[in-house]
Amino acid sequence: MGTDEKRVKPRRASLRGRQLEPAVLAELRDLIGDERIDPGLRRRDRLIEHLHALQDTYGHLPMARLRALASFMNLPMAAIYETATFYAHFDVVHDEQTPPPALTLRVCESLSCRMAGAEALHHALVAGTDPAKVRVRRAPCMGRCDTSPVVAVGRHHVLNANVRNVGVAIEREQVEPDEIRWQRLADYRLAGGYQLLIDCRQGKMTLDALANQLELAGLRGLGGAGFPTSRKWQAVRAEPGPRYTVINADEGEPGTLKDRFYLENAPHQCLEGALVSAWAVEAEAVYIYLRDEYPGLHRVLSDAIAELEADGIVEPGFVILRRGAGAYICGEESALIESLEGKPGKPRLRPPFVAQKGLFGQPTLVNNVETVYWIPIIHSRGAEWFANHGRRGRRGLRSFSVSGRVAKPGVHLAPAGISLNELVEEYCGGIADGHRLLAYLPGGASGGILPASKADIPLDFDTLHEHGCFIGSAAVIVLSDQDDLPAVATNLLGFFADESCGQCTPCRVGTEKMLTLLERNTWDEETLQQLARVMADASICGLGQAAPNPVLSLLRDFRSELASHNLIAKG
């Protein structure tokens, strides 16, 4: 080759990697709209809704459609893929030549369902269905612990499930959620509904007066943390606007079903409380983050919001309903904010707190569903009415989600400070026939386990800490002498290991390591204790910090039971 000749590098005929298929992009635009006409469809916070639209339509997420979505939203494919694979309800399929079966059965494996025979049911369904037509998968708590075991057939939930009634649902193609009968806007208005909101907007009710009412009533955050509601309002309002209000309807704690109960029975009352909260902090918009396990409620809330818009109570777009996608961690408020922004639901480091920098970087009020449910009632009936219901010096009412070995499981409204013995006898019809109380979980999977000898302790915020437990969202699971406590702890740790977001090493590795230690024939108590301390001290959020609680409870209060299983030494 002469010195004057130039080396010409051959050019590729196409770009690197898998290329976008124009026909698939056209299908996407037909499904969710044309981003060239409506640029708002490209906003990152719309990503999870777009993924839901694809999942609902095709039953899975083929890579070709994810590539089209990346082009549609002008986002890197890595961002689309990371978000889609983070959430349990999105089914990313890499081999597009062999799509999954059209129908998926999800068998709940939470503690209450496991106690009701979910494991045997799962095996029976696997053996009794054609894998070419039906997939059978395990799934975390579905918020229906009072009717366990539960199986989701598509988006339809079979309660008190068995092989027969699940088979009937499949045969009848019952894959859509059942209709929910709910109180419409006209009936709620006839009963005085939305009068508080009107009074607030017209200046007949001042913020100070209403906040004082809630403080006298002792209303606290009822999602688990128990922070006083009026003080949270003040903290958010003190920050410069614009501000947002977010309603957390993502109750994923195993054993919890109270928020679903209130949304099904009183959606407009919950919405009024949310709108009053938004008024209190002068919010630009209200976002409702709803569990994807509650598809029937999505329809109810969509219709209820439409009623509010048609009646002129809210401007169109002021109340925005968003679906979760199967991630327990999104019950943590900063992870919920990340999810609303269209990202994987990973908790943020704090400070700053979401009251300072929350949704879209702005001050954000995050309230639980039950918290806002009580606001109109406390105003209409008075702070003293609510506060005077407590026992043993406690104030207010608590909604206990009770499941397990009781005659009448369900949501039971009872005085704060009631004991487990009183709750079971006065509200739950006693212990189930043939069972004897052995232990109970006062606050769901993360709240620890207490023995029957401590069933007279007041159940409320701050009353259980000295016993190494907490009430959280008041998800009470009752265990009997017929339950295997080590198996209970293993089930709960398996849940935490599955649900860890993976962001921090103490939780990601710690939950898996603790689960491995529990599955051994003997327990290494010293290592379990050390691991628990590291997880509690170094995990970013409450999931990793509280995950060891069931194990620590057994080591503290159930040593004789563990010794009888030869897991630890006697004496």
Which of 480, 512, 543 represents a domain boundary (last residue)? Answer: 480
Residue 569, SS3? Answer: coil
Residue 10: predicted pLDDT: 67
Q: For the domain that residue 357 is a member of, what is the CATH number?
A: 3.40.50.11540
Same-domain pairing of 47 and 34: yes
Which of 48, 71, 93 represents a domain boundary (last residue)? Answer: 93
Where does residue 342 fall: left (phi above 0), alpha (psi -120 to 50 degrees), or beta otherwise? left
Interior CA angle at 477 toward 472 and 480, to 5°?
A: 145
Q: Enumerate residues 6+ apart whose C-beta is below 8 A from 428.
A: 402, 406, 407, 408, 409, 412, 478
pTM of the model: 0.94
Domain with 292 in it: 193-380
Rg of the Cα atoms in the chain: 25
- Alpha-carbon distances, residue 222 vs 210, 212, 245, 473 (angstroms): 18, 18, 16, 6
Give the total number of structural domains in the chain: 5
In whole angstroms, give the CA distance from residue 561 to residue 564: 5
pLDDT tens-place values along the chain, 571 residues long: 455 566 666 666 555 656 788 899 999 999 999 999 999 999 999 999 999 999 999 999 999 999 999 999 999 999 999 999 999 999 999 877 788 999 999 999 999 999 999 999 999 999 999 999 999 999 999 999 999 999 999 999 999 999 999 999 999 999 999 999 999 999 999 999 999 999 999 999 999 999 999 999 999 999 888 899 999 999 999 999 999 999 999 999 999 999 999 999 999 999 999 999 999 999 999 999 999 999 999 999 999 999 999 999 999 999 999 999 999 999 999 999 999 999 999 999 999 999 999 999 999 999 999 999 999 999 999 999 999 999 999 999 999 999 999 999 999 999 999 999 999 999 999 999 999 999 999 999 999 999 999 999 999 999 999 999 999 999 999 999 999 999 999 999 999 999 999 999 999 999 999 999 999 999 999 999 999 999 999 999 999 999 999 999 999 999 999 999 999 987 6
Q: For the domain that residue 135 is a member of, what is the CATH number?
A: 3.40.30.10
In a domain, 407, yes or no: yes
Same-domain pairing of 113 and 80: no
In a domain, 13, yes or no: no
Structure tokens at 85: 């694979």
Same-domain pairing of 517 and 418: no
Q: Enumerate residues 6+ apart whose C-beta is below 8 A from 152.
A: 104, 105, 106, 108, 139, 142, 158, 293
In whole angstroms, give the CA distance from residue 146 to residue 411: 8
**CB-CB neighbours of 24 under 10 Å:** 17
Same-domain pairing of 474 and 497: no
Which of 41, 63, 93 represents a domain boundary (last residue)? Answer: 93
In a domain, 185, yes or no: no
Same-domain pairing of 492 and 365: no
Same-domain pairing of 214 and 348: yes
Same-domain pairing of 326 and 444: no
Measure CA of the first residue to CA of the last residue in the chain; give whole Å. Answer: 89
In a domain, 6, yes or no: no
